[in-house]
């Protein structure tokens, strides 16, 4: 019998490219049919066929307090009674800016928008306007949204200008983007020695979540900070995923590195679309209406989305919130490693706060090249076995996972039981 899920996917493919509204939702990498959901509560999801799952995607991070948290829902319902949007200033926007500045003091001034892509695109434009330079640097495997200049892969040599990694991106745009290997301090030093004074900014995921979880080397981040300072390049931390998730003050507080600019999303919307970028006041003063760099958004700082984010940020300031989240995530990671070892499967895992990575490899990778050496076929088999057992992981070997404060010891135990079964079948 055809499931409702299969029917919806078949119908969606007729009207929506690939049947999904974001490629990351597709199951092209692992095979099979994407799951269509209708309800979430706490750590659990229910699909359109009524099947229940323990959720380790958490809307790719923002559901840090769990799905449909009663205080978040109540706050959103109350705000909605006052209208869904004004397209004009509200006190909520100021409240959000004040809270972001309190938790991340490096963000001396903040501008809200509606997505992480908008935030990174706008931060880079602002950095270019501030420095008067065109070149930007990113790192292989890091994803910063789908704006043209960031959909660029590495060239064949250190200083080879980037090549478009997507159709529709002009080569002339990609030519301004230089791509380096993550965690490679020497490559950074070599690049800055040759073109450092031409670089407007360096954008980086301080903890990578978009090629699976990659943990930065402290020396790499320190080298990056020193080089940007020496050459007058703007250092942008893309904390769309890590902001308020790996630490209350973000990855910049965890690793004690102060960026010039920061981009945010995910958690600050509590599950609704919100983004933000900010940083040093002298840089942010380049923005219109006070400066020459134009950026705008009719729905920026939407009152309903900001309300959800404010309530979420209030909840995660509870005593020991992040230490408990990290401990629960570590319990999952260590349990998975033990289950794999018991069955003789080559496997590794690690976490930073509430983010975790799963790798079918001998060691935890530290770069794009190393992550590509992991056993993708083993992951695909593992993914489907876990999905059949009611555990929902990211449908790709190259995505980080997320634990929420709603995940209980029972959730972890059920997940590990499903994992033992999955590992045994390998």
How confident is the model over 109-168, as pLDDT tens digits? 999 999 999 999 999 999 999 999 999 999 998 989 888 788 776 543 333 445 677 788
Residues in CB range of 141: below 8 A, 6 or more apart:
182, 208, 210, 211, 214, 367, 368, 371, 398
Tell me what pLDDT residue 419 has.
Answer: 98
Residues of each domain in the chain carrying CATH 3.90.1150.10: 4-64+319-425
Tell me what pLDDT residue 163 has.
Answer: 62
Catalytic residue among 47, 55, 238, 260: 238
281 catalytically annotated: no
Q: According to DSSP H, which parts of 272-346 are helical?
A: 281-284, 303-315, 321-343
Note the pLDDT tens digit of each residue in 227-267. 999 999 999 999 999 999 999 999 999 999 999 999 999 99
Tell me what pLDDT residue 422 has.
Answer: 98
55 catalytically annotated: no
Mean per-residue pLDDT, 317-321: 98
Higher pLDDT among residues 101 and 154, named by residue: 101
Catalytic residue among 47, 56, 138, 143: 143
192 in Cβ contact with 186 (< 8 Å): no
The whole-chain average pLDDT of the chain stands at 94
Torsion-angle region of residue 351: left (phi > 0), alpha (psi -120 to 50) or beta?
beta
Tell me what pLDDT residue 226 has.
Answer: 98
Quickly state the pLDDT bin for 360 (edges 50, 70, 90): very high
Mean per-residue pLDDT, 305-332: 98
Residues of each domain in the chain carrying CATH 3.40.640.10: 70-315
Quickly state the pLDDT bin for 1 (edges 50, 70, 90): low
Full-model pTM: 0.95
Whether residue 354 is predicted with pLDDT greater than 60 in this model: the reply is yes
421 catalytically annotated: no
99 in Cβ contact with 267 (< 8 Å): no
Tell me what pLDDT residue 240 has.
Answer: 96
394 in Cβ contact with 317 (< 8 Å): no
- The rounded percent of the chain whose pLDDT value lies above 90 is 89
Q: Which of 76-85, 146-155, 169-178 has the lowest mean pLDDT?
A: 146-155
Whether residue 45 is predicted with pLDDT greater than 50 in this model: the reply is yes
Output the DSSP codes for 173-239: HHTTEEEE-TT-HHHHHHHHHHHGGGEEEEEE-SSB-SSS-BPPPHHHHHHHHHHHHHHTPEEEEE-
User: What gap in Å lies between CA 13 and CA 19, rounded to an integer?
Assistant: 4
Quickly state the pLDDT bin for 415 (edges 50, 70, 90): very high
CATH architecture of 70-315: 3-Layer(aba) Sandwich (3.40)
Tell me what pLDDT residue 169 has.
Answer: 78
Q: Is 385 helix (H, G, I), strand (E, B) or coil?
A: helix
Q: Is 82 helix (H, G, I), strand (E, B) or coil?
A: coil
Tell me what pLDDT residue 388 has.
Answer: 97
Catalytic residue among 266, 368, 392, 411: 266
User: What gap in Å lies between CA 403 and CA 422, rounded to an integer?
Assistant: 20
Note the pLDDT tens digit of each residue in 393-407. 999 999 999 999 999
User: What gap in Å lies between CA 227 and CA 222, rounded to an integer?
Assistant: 9
Tokens 């935890």 belong to which residue? 364
Mean per-residue pLDDT, 34-47: 97
Tell me what pLDDT residue 167 has.
Answer: 81
User: What gap in Å lies between CA 157 and CA 164, rounded to an integer?
Assistant: 15
Note the pLDDT tens digit of each residue in 269-317. 999 999 999 999 999 999 999 999 999 999 999 999 999 999 999 999 9
309 in Cβ contact with 75 (< 8 Å): no
**Range ranked top by mean pLDDT from 21-25, 208-212, 282-286:** 282-286
- Angle at which helices 409-425 and 376-388 pack, to 10 degrees? 130
Q: Which CATH code, of 3.40.1160.10, 3.90.1150.10, 3.50.50.60, 3.30.70.100, is assigned to 4-64+319-425? A: 3.90.1150.10
Number of H helices and E strands in the chain, helices first, is 14, 16
């Amino acid at each position: 019998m055809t499931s409702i899920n299969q029917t919806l996917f078949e119908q969606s493919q007729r009207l929506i490219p690939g049947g999904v509204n974001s490629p990351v939702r597709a199951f092209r990498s692992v095979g099979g049919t994407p799951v269509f959901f209708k309800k979430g509560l706490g750590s659990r999801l229910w699909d359109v066929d009524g099947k229940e799952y323990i959720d380790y995607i958490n809307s790719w991070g923002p559901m840090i307090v769990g799905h449909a948290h009663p205080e978040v829902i109540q706050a959103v319902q109350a705000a909605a009674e006052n209208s869904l949007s004004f397209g004009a200033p509200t006190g909520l926007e100021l409240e959000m800016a004040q809270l972001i500045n309190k938790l991340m003091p490096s963000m001396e001034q903040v501008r809200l928008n509606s997505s992480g892509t908008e935030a990174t695109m706008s931060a880079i434009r602002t950095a270019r306007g501030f420095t008067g330079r065109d070149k930007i640097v990113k790192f292989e495997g890091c994803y910063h949204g789908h704006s043209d200049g960031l959909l660029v892969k590495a060239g064949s040599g250190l200083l080879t200008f980037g090549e478009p990694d997507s159709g529709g991106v002009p080569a002339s745009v990609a030519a301004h983007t230089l791509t380096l290997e993550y965690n490679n301090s020497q490559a950074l030093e070599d690049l800055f020695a040759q073109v450092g004074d031409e670089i407007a900014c360096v954008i980086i995921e301080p903890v990578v979540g978009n090629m699976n979880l990659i943990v930065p080397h402290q020396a790499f981040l320190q080298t990056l900070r020193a080089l940007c300072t020496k050459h007058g390049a703007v250092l942008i931390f893309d904390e769309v995923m890590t902001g308020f998730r790996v630490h209350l003050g973000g990855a910049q507080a965890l690793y004690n590195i102060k960026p010039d600019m920061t981009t945010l999303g995910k958690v600050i919307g509590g599950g609704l679309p919100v983004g933000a970028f900010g940083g040093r006041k002298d840089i942010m003063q380049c923005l219109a209406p006070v400066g020459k760099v134009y950026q705008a958004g009719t729905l920026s700082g939407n009152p309903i989305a900001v309300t959800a984010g404010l309530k979420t940020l209030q909840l995660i300031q509870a005593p020991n919130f992040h230490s408990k989240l990290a401990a629960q995530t570590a319990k999952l990671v260590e349990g998975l490693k033990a289950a794999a070892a018991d069955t003789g499967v080559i496997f590794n895992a690690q976490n930073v706060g509430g983010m975790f990575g799963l790798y079918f490899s001998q060691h935890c990778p530290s770069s794009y090249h190393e992550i590509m050496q992991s056993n993708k076929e083993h992951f695909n088999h593992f993914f489907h076995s876990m999905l059949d057992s009611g555990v929902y992981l990211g449908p790709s070997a190259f995505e980080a996972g997320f634990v929420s404060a709603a995940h209980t010891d029972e959730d972890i135990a059920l997940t590990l039981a499903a994992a033992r079964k999955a590992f045994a079948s390998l």
